Each structure stands twice: as structure tokens, then as C-alpha cells.
Amino acid sequence: MHNVVIIGSGCAGNTAAIYTARAGLNPIVIAGHEPGGQLSLTTEVENFPGFPEGIQGPELVENMKKQAQRFGAEYRHGTVIEADLSKKPVRLNMDGEWIETRSLIIASGASARWLNLPSEQKLIGHGVSSCATCDGFFYRGKEIMVVGGGDTAMEEANFLTRFGRRVTLVHRRNEFRASKIMLDRAMANPKIEIVTPAAVQEVEDGGTGLVTGVTLKNLETGEVWRREVDGLFVAIGHIPNTKPFAGQMDLDADGYIVSHGGARTSVTGVFHAGDVQDRVYRQAITAAGAGCMAAIEAERYLEAEEH
């Protein structure tokens, strides 16, 4: 039986691990299916305080992990596939192994949303990507397409013009969810062509195993046409990683954990930290702050439980 188990090894989970380890609680961190979280998928981080010259995302998150390990946090490779929060101690199924814990910090983050076309799924990592900062480099001088109408899509489209010959931004509506400044920037970029209202119907590889083109449909006129592209970046939002907790705690309609004040969830002794609850700020520094809050809450909960 553990004092505290932390699900997730991104900024939130690692910070919770540093705090709970320093409090002598011997935390167990379950690294999850994307170890290091979203920072491990980025390059330069320029807005994390304390690094005047910036720092690489993977280095930042690795440093946090080392810091937590220095105080005794134990990291385990694995993913929580099932949970029982109905009684104490809380039980977690990590890839078939059941783990019991007196308190739990859920810092499992949010994962990229996909179009869910079989042809798209087949070509992830072979021309289909959800991370421009990770994969943009591979498309120097190439034809790139970005799908989405939010800030992420605008940001990725702008970023990808550093590499691509042309970036086509495809969005399903004529109105954009993106903030005006981000949309204006994309519209003013001569290398970005915006196509609306349109949807990607099929991703093609022409038998090569790499993306060669897409089939697009105009959602107003029904017109269908083909476009040659080398890289397809899907930027249509994220899905919080809360599947094992569905029906066991308050989640909102999109699956994000509902906060019950501070880092508290609807289940006593279970706390949230980072993007699994935060759909607004989604920053490394806010996730780190949330990890600290969850750790302090868990510490106080355990202390109160003992008295």
C-alpha cells in the first residue's frame, strides 16, 4: 500500500512528485503512455521562468524527473487501464497489476484528438502528425496541410511555414474558433492558403507507405477534390486522459475532471493536476503549479487521516 500514487509524468506529475517526495511520502509515479507529457513533444520552451535563454522541452521535463528521483520518487513504466475509487484504499490497475494507495494525484494530461479516418490512423508517423514542433523539420520544401480552426491550428500553420513550400489550412466551418490575433497572423502569411468549409475525407499514400495526398470535400457544395500533400498535421484539440475514471468521479461533458475547489476532485483523497482538468491555460508553468497544489492537498489529507 502506497501513501500517494501520481498518474502521469508531465510537468504536473513531476512537480507533484518533487513535493510529495520531499514530504517523505515516497510517491510512485506511473509514467503513462506518453512519458514526459506534452513537453516531451516540444522543442524550445521560452516562457518557463528561470531559463533566460530558453530550454528544450524534453530536457526540462527530464530535469524535473531527476529532481523528484533525488528525493526518492519511484517512476514506473506503465499505464493505468482501470481504477476503483469506490472505497479506500483506492485501487489502480496498471497493465494488469493492481496497486493500492491511500491518496491519488491524477496528472494524466490530455492527448491529441484525431480525425479517426482509418487511412489517417494507418499513416500516423508516416506523414500524419499531431505535433508541428516535433515533426515540422521533416517537411522542408514540402507541401503541408493543417486541419483545424482553433489557436493550435493557426499556431502550427504559421510555424510550419518555416519549413514547407506552402501550408494549406483546412477547416470545417467558415468561422474560426481561433483568437483574432492568431487568425489575422495566419491570414496575413503569404505561404498559408485557407480552405473552408472543407473536410479531409481520405489520406492517401499511393502504395508508398508515406502520405502523398488527401481527398477533400467542400461541405457547402459537396465538391470533392484531391490535393497532393507530403505532411498532414491534425490540430483539432485534445481529449483528457480520464477513461479509467469515467462514472467514478465528476467529469464534464468532454471528460475533463471537474474541480471541487483547489486540487480536489469529487472523490476524497483523489486530486487533480494539469491539463486533465485545465482546458484554459494549458501551460507548463500552470501545470507545474497545479502539481504543487495537488501535492500539498494530498499531504494534508494524509496527515488528517492519521489523526
Residue 57 touches ligand NDP, criterion: CB under 6 A: no
| Between 83 and 169, CB nearer to ligand NDP | 169
Task: With contacts defined by CB under 6 A, name the span among 9-17, 134-142, 168-176, 215-223 that binds ligand NDP.
Answer: 168-176
Position among 35, 109, 148, 164 found at the interface with ligand NDP (CB under 6 A): 148
The residue range among 49-57, 149-157, 222-230, 286-294 that interacts with ligand NDP, by the rule CB under 6 A, is 149-157
| Cα 202 from chain centre | 25
Q: What does the block give as the cell for 1?
A: 500500500
- List, in sequence order, every residue forming a beta bridge with 128; answer none if it has no partner: 124, 232
CB-nearer residue toward ligand NDP: 165 or 173? 173
CA distance 155 to 195: 16
Integer-rounded Cα Rg, in Å, for the chain is 21
- Give me the least distance between CB of 179 and ligand NDP, in Å please: 6
Q: Smallest distance from the beta carbon of 61 to ligand NDP, in angstroms?
A: 19
In angstroms, the CA 236 to CA 23 distance is 40
All three cell numbers of 135 = 515533426
CB 229, CB 213: distance < 8 Å: yes
58 preceded by cis ω (within 30°)? Answer: no
Question: Going residue by residue from 262 to 291, which x/- string records binding to ligand NDP, judged by CB under 6 A?
Answer: --------------------x---------
Query: Does 155 interact with ligand NDP (rule: CB under 6 A)?
Result: yes
The minimum distance between CB 177 and ligand NDP, in angstroms, equals 4
Q: Which residue has the cell 497493465?
A: 95
Q: Is 151 in the site for ligand NDP (CB under 6 A)?
A: yes
- Give helix 284-306 / helix 57-70 axis angle, nearest 10°: 20
Closest by CA to 250, choosing from 239, 261, 238, is 261
Binders of ligand NDP in range 90-129 (CB under 6 A): 115
CA separation for the pair 169, 195 (Å, rounded): 6
- Examine residue 162 and tell whether it contacts ligand NDP (CB under 6 A): no
Using CB under 6 A, which of 37, 150, 231, 274 touches ligand NDP? 150
Q: Give the binding site for ligand NDP (CB under 6 A).
A: 115, 147-153, 155, 171-173, 177, 236-237, 282
